[in-house]
Amino acid sequence: MPDNPSQGCRYLSDQVAIKLAWELSVDSAEQAAMRRTAEECPDSDVTVNPVP
């Protein structure tokens, strides 16, 4: 996570978009951490750009 807490939602959104675009998996610990961060980001959107 970024040092600046205000960037956490943006970081998470970018991380999820990359994982989805590249069809990358997450382990249970990573998923739990992502869920905890996402709870603080109710208005964040994730934009996925498919990889060719």
Whether 27 shows a pLDDT value over 90: the answer reads: yes
pTM confidence score: 0.77
Residue 44 located in a structural domain: no
Based on the structure, what is the number of domains in the chain? 1
Q: What percent of the chain has pLDDT over 90?
A: 37
Mean pLDDT of 23-47: 89
Average pLDDT, the chain: 87
Q: What is the pLDDT of residue 49?
A: 78
**47 is written with which tokens?**
């934009």
Mean pLDDT of 30-46: 87
Instruction: Return d(Cα 12, Cα 35) in angstroms, integer.
Output: 10
Q: What is the pLDDT of residue 47?
A: 80
Residues 6+ apart with CB under 8 A from 8: 1, 2, 37, 40, 41
Residue 43 located in a structural domain: no
Q: How far is CA 11 from CA 19, 24, 52, in A?
A: 12, 16, 23
Find the domain containing 34 and state its range: 5-38
